[in-house]
Amino acid sequence: MNLEHLRALLAVIDHGTFEAAGTALQVTPSAISQRIKALESATGRVLVQRSAPCRPTSAGEVLLRTARQMVLLEEDARAALGEGGAPGLELPVAVNADSLATWFEPVLAAAATWPDTLLRLAVEDEEHSSEHLRRGHVLAAVSADPTAVSGCRTEVLGAMRYLPVAAPFVAERHRSGRGVDWQRMPVLRFNAKDDLQHSVLRGLGVTDPPPCSHVPSSEGFLAAVRAGLGWAMVPEAQLGDDLETGRLVLLRRRAHVDVTLHWQVWSLQTSRVGRLGDAVREAARALRPARAGGRRAVAAVGGSH
């Protein structure tokens, strides 16, 4: 398999179209098409779904990780030989929105100092980010899954603590005895994959889902809670002084969910991947120590978003 053909496959999948891939590799879309056809001829399989955006077939996914690894190894070898390599090789990484909005920010600052490396971040729920690794779309992921993907290694980063909070007037409006009416109080959900709030409700014995709004942005999610659109589980690190100032209230005393995060990354080591891992581990010092058993809750049991 020709390395330039594999580069074309990566470019098409990462950028979504043959035209964008051509721009990224500084060749014509026709040249990209010819390289993909040559690779498909060499493997005897269709590798790319010509959709909008282009997607890999199951056979294409098999080649994606191999292609990324070969490109990284080639660039590392060029650098070791003093040839410099590509000026801005992309490292695709999956990270959940809450991490990106909190403890992961120092990784971005570190990456800004790397003249030979670019980051391509895929924002994905930490319960599902390891799937990006399996499909070859990324080389590393912040994941809640402790089981290493084949060809990868995993290490514990720490835990994110989530608290059930709401605007004071929302909690007061749904006051019930010494607590709140969880069945009637509106709730927020990040997206269709976010089961954190509803799993907490199930732990509290609420079987019928209350009114629910969706806000697929970590910053917008917190803004919606502050505005009174509903209650939600919000990362403690994102709350700032909201509980001290009374801008938000804790809905259940001593209630929290700790979600253990893992760094899943290719077993193949290169200088760029190693440098990325060092930055992630340093940034993860801001997380809580992870407890044995992974996810822990006090007064409620839940998932993560």
Cα–Cα distance, 74 to 83 (Å, whole number):
11
CATH of the domain at 199: 3.40.190.290
Query: Is residue 305 located within the same domain as residue 176?
Result: yes
Average pLDDT score over residue span 248-257: 91
Give the list of residues 6+ apart from residue 83 with CB closer than 8 angstroms, or none: none
Query: Is residue 49 located within the same domain as residue 146?
Result: no
Cα–Cα distance, 85 to 102 (Å, whole number):
33
pLDDT level of residue 301 (50, 70, 90 thresholds): very low
Show which of 34, 68, 83 is a domain's final residue: 83
pLDDT at 289 over 70: yes
Show which of 34, 58, 83 is a domain's final residue: 83
Query: Is residue 79 located within the same domain as residue 92?
Result: no
Specify the pairing of strand 89-95 against strand 117-123: parallel
Each residue's pLDDT tens digit, 190-247: 998 899 999 999 999 998 889 999 999 999 999 999 999 999 999 999 999 999 999 9
Helical packing angle, 58-80 and 271-283, nearest 10°: 100
Query: Is residue 297 located within the same domain as residue 183?
Result: yes
CATH of the domain at 79: 1.10.10.10
Query: Is residue 71 located within the same domain as residue 214?
Result: no
Judge contact between 49 and 43, C-beta under 8 A: no
Query: Is residue 206 located within the same domain as residue 256?
Result: yes
Query: Is residue 76 located within the same domain as residue 189?
Result: no
Query: Is residue 68 located within the same domain as residue 137?
Result: no
Query: Is residue 42 located within the same domain as residue 94?
Result: no
pLDDT at 26 over 50: yes
Q: What are phi and psi of 226, to 5 degrees?
A: -65, -35
- pLDDT recorded at residue 80: 81
Cα–Cα distance, 251 to 297 (Å, whole number):
14
Average pLDDT score over residue span 273-291: 95
Total domain count, the chain = 2
Burial class (CB in 10 A: 0-12, 13-18, 19+), 288: middle
Query: Is residue 202 located within the same domain as residue 67?
Result: no
Name the percent of the chain in helix, strand, coil, to the closest 5. Answer: 40, 25, 35
Judge contact between 229 and 187, C-beta under 8 A: no
Please give the mean pLDDT across all residues of the chain: 90
Query: Is residue 65 located within the same domain as residue 118?
Result: no
Judge contact between 126 and 256, C-beta under 8 A: no
Which amino acid is it at 124? E
Show which of 48, 83, 118 is a domain's final residue: 83
Report which secondary-structure segment, H or E, holds 89: strand 89-95
Query: Is residue 93 located within the same domain as residue 186?
Result: yes
pLDDT at 299 over 50: no
- Structural domain including 51 reads 1-83
Q: What is the pTM of this model?
A: 0.84
pLDDT at 275 over 90: yes
Judge contact between 130 and 264, C-beta under 8 A: yes
